[in-house]
Amino acid sequence: MIDAWIVFLLLLLAPVVSSIPIVLAYKSKEWTEKLPYLSVFGIFISVLMSLYIFFTFPKELPASQFAYPWIPDLGINIVLITDYLARYMGVVTALIAFFIAVYGLDYMKGDYRPSWYWFFFNLFTASMLLVVYSDNLFLLFVGWEGLGAASWGLIGHWFRDDDDIAYVGKAGRKVGPLELSWPPSFGGWRAISTIRFGDVPMFFAIAAIWVLTGNLNISEIDWGSLFMGIGAAGTIILMLCFLMGLFTKSAQVPFSEWLMTAMTGPTTVSALLHSATMVAAGAFVFLKVTWYIEPWHLHGVPGLEVVYTVVLFVGLLSGLYGALAGSGMLERKVLLAASTMSSIGLMFAAGAASFWIHEEIAGINLALLVGFWYMAVHAFAKASLFLVAGHLIHATHSRFCCGGLEFAKRMKTPFIATIIATTFLVGMPPLTAYWVKSAMDEVMELLWHEHHMLIPIILLILTSLIYSAIMARFLSLNFVRGEKPEHEHLEGGGLMKLGYTMMVSVLFILLYLIFTNAETEAFVHAGYASVSFAVGAGALIAYVLAVYVPRLKVFSRVPGTFFNDRMYLPFLNDYIVPKTGFFISRVVQNYGNRGIDGFFNTRVIPGLFGIISRGIRAIQTGYLKSYVKIVLGLVMVFLVIASLWGLGL
């Protein structure tokens, strides 16, 4: 067996190190055209190492934990773990990044900043792998910040804002005072600023955990004792601060707008962002922490149920919001982005349901299994769809959905890949996601029957039906009943086709694993339940109807719809919050700063010193008689005080 630390070093450093040569050669066009293959090879090494870890490393504690001293005086070490979640998610992350990188060799050919792109792309991959395998919260936060930095570099990659095809929204279109058009440079800024809003309280939460427990290793922290020690209010504050980082990173309501405008980046970035990194990171960390908190055993802990109730409904409402928003989208990548937000919301909701669900399969909580396996299925399906979208953008030179059956006949590979990815993702029987969604239905049904929580299953079913329709809508508007493209450039794209063909083929492997793994047997049993079959049949009907009628006339009478405008949530991010911020800054400037300046520099303190100065000058007469009177007066005051003190008054 290869030494564990050599494996981890190759896994985490190979992508970054392999991208350094193209950075150093940024001035040479000849070398920057050749060196991307080296960057892709670095990611391939990570794939090999993740597979080696999956098949040979232990998955049970403590053997699955690998520690190396980092900051011993503070009790902070490099601690990596190869438990169930890390083993599977490591392979998912590395494999998806590799397929997208292969696709990117074609897609990014001729780009004006290849060195910038490949460095940040590989840093993105390495950072997510660090998040996946980290057991130490501080080390995890290092990878977390690496994701943020790389997302800024990649989303704003086309910073010149000189091509409308890289924009989100329609130039010149306004709703009230707000123009609904966003360039790449703005997309990168919005992503990093929104994420930073959540990262700050998350960092303080991690610091508080270290102060309170003296330990930052997720698998070793006594979570129950921690929560009992800080009480209900402390638990709620601590966990909500931690969750702020997860909600913003995963674009949950109301922090979803950055995800929509992040579509200004290259499609390869969008695919990686939405499948195996960044957006998935928040949901993955939630599942990972919940895995070791084991909330289903902590019902006596005050405040914890409030936390998981918040996550449950934030996830479900984000799922419904994303599905509804996607129902009005006409831009290829933005439609897929809205659907990703919806899927991530369901992952959060499934994981949060573990607080109430005690059922375990192969020693693993059913709700957590559902959330994680849905994450894996979604990752490969959604990455495939984004890569297809990128190929279509290249072929039609348009970011808006367009294409009919004649176009589909000339674009058979992306057409077939889209059919497979959408049908395997929406939860129609008997395809891959159906079995996972059936288990999710069962989880929400248990909440209804055992805990009298009816709203979650209603929201889940409603979201599932709308989600199926928007996936069918993507297929129809691009290959069946869409408008004829104005431009068609169908030549080339061999590596692009290879990228999403390999990606979508993994969905068949996941279907096989669901039927052969012991821990997913419950998914198969859930698939035969009447409720699950009814929901699956509903998803199938919604899909077929949406293929036939991808756009409702009532939504086509005006340029843009309520759902296409994301229910005007952009006003919160682009108008209300900035206006509020500027108002507060003006108040601080006009009253706060002037008040401070007046108190310390111009009025109160200087005036007080002036009074004291004049008093001192008044007694400086130069006559000995005056000074004797002052001294005698002070002596009399001292004697009076001493007398009162002696009498005990």
* Residue 72: per-residue pLDDT: 77
Could you give the angle at the alpha carbon of 393 between the alpha carbons of 559 and 328, nearest 5°?
30
Q: What tokens does 157 get?
A: 């990659």
Residue 604 belongs to some domain of the structure: no
HSE-up of residue 359 (Cα within 13 Å, Cβ side): 19
- Cα dist from 470 to 305, 337, 386, 466, whole Å: 33, 11, 14, 6
- Give me the mean pLDDT over the 1-23 stretch: 92
**Cα(4)–Cα(206) distance, rounded to whole angstroms?**
27
Same-domain pairing of 406 and 551: yes
* Residue 469: per-residue pLDDT: 95
Q: What is the pLDDT of residues 564-585, one digit of tens each?
A: 788 788 877 777 877 787 788 7
Q: What is the pLDDT of residues 112-132, one digit of tens each?
A: 899 999 999 999 999 999 999
Same-domain pairing of 632 and 502: no
**Cα(222)–Cα(230) distance, rounded to whole angstroms?**
13
Choosing from 512, 545, 568, the residue where a domain stops is 568
Q: Rounded to 5, what percent of the chain is helix, strand, coil? A: 75, 5, 20
Residue 94 belongs to some domain of the structure: yes
Same-domain pairing of 207 and 338: yes
**Cα(342)–Cα(345) distance, rounded to whole angstroms?**
5
**Cα(175)–Cα(181) distance, rounded to whole angstroms?**
11
Choosing from 538, 568, 598, the residue where a domain stops is 568
pLDDT over 70 for what percent of the chain? 96
Same-domain pairing of 267 and 338: yes
pLDDT band at 559 (very low <50, low <70, confident <90, very high): very low
* Residue 557: per-residue pLDDT: 52
Choosing from 568, 602, 629, the residue where a domain stops is 568
- Which tops the pLDDT comparison, 3 or 414? 414
Same-domain pairing of 532 and 637: no
Closest of 384, 404, 309 to residue 99, by C-alpha: 384
Neighbours of 317 (CB within 10 A): 17
Closest of 129, 153, 151 to residue 140, by C-alpha: 129
**Cα(459)–Cα(386) distance, rounded to whole angstroms?**
26
Window from 309-313, 329-333, 418-422 with minimum mean pLDDT: 329-333
Which of 354-363, 435-444, 570-579, 614-623 is the most confident on average? 435-444
- Which tops the pLDDT comparison, 280 or 638? 280
pLDDT band at 558 (very low <50, low <70, confident <90, very high): very low
CB 357 within 8 A of CB 446: yes
Q: What is the pLDDT of residues 200-259, one digit of tens each?
A: 999 999 999 999 998 999 999 999 999 999 999 999 999 999 999 999 999 999 999 999
Q: Would you give the DSSP letter of residue 295?
A: G
By the 10 Å C-beta count (0-12 exposed, 13-18 middle, 19+ buried), 585 is classed as exposed
- Give me the mean pLDDT over the 100-113 stretch: 93
Same-domain pairing of 110 and 234: yes
HSE-up of residue 343 (Cα within 13 Å, Cβ side): 35
Q: Which residue has the tokens 């981890």?
A: 8
- Give me the mean pLDDT over the 66-84 stretch: 86
* Residue 647: per-residue pLDDT: 59
Residue 609 belongs to some domain of the structure: no
Residue 407 belongs to some domain of the structure: yes
Same-domain pairing of 629 and 496: no
**Cα(28)–Cα(25) distance, rounded to whole angstroms?**
6
List the domain range (segments joined by +) for residue 634.
Answer: 616-649
**Cα(346)–Cα(341) distance, rounded to whole angstroms?**
9
pLDDT band at 553 (very low <50, low <70, confident <90, very high): low
SS3 track for 120-143 = HHHHHHHHHHHHHHECEHHHHHHH
Same-domain pairing of 427 and 500: yes
**Cα(511)–Cα(508) distance, rounded to whole angstroms?**
5
Residue 638 belongs to some domain of the structure: yes
User: pTM of this prediction?
Assistant: 0.90
Same-domain pairing of 194 and 303: yes
**Cα(31)–Cα(434) distance, rounded to whole angstroms?**
47
* Residue 596: per-residue pLDDT: 79
CB 494 within 8 A of CB 106: yes
Residue 586 belongs to some domain of the structure: no
Residue 579 belongs to some domain of the structure: no
Whether 272 shows a pLDDT value over 80: the answer reads yes
Same-domain pairing of 498 and 361: yes
- Give me the mean pLDDT over the 288-299 stretch: 95
Could you give the angle at the alpha carbon of 474 between the alpha carbons of 471 and 475, nearest 5°?
95
Same-domain pairing of 552 and 628: no
Neighbours of 468 (CB within 10 A): 30
How many structural domains does the chain have?
2
SS3 track for 166-224 = HCEEEEEEEECCEEEEECHHHHHHHHHHHHHHHHHHHHHHHHHHHHHHCCCECCCCCHH
Dihedral over Cα of 578, 579, 580, 583: its sign: positive
SS3 track for 503-532 = HHHHHHHHHHHHHHCHHHHHHHHHHCCHHH
Mean pLDDT, the chain, rounded, equals 90
Q: What tokens does 426 get?
A: 């929406």
pLDDT band at 287 (very low <50, low <70, confident <90, very high): very high
Residue 372 belongs to some domain of the structure: yes
Same-domain pairing of 623 and 486: no
Neighbours of 60 (CB within 10 A): 11
Per DSSP, helices labelled H in 480-623 are: 494-516, 521-527, 530-548, 570-571, 577-587, 594-597, 604-619
**Cα(618)–Cα(636) distance, rounded to whole angstroms?**
21
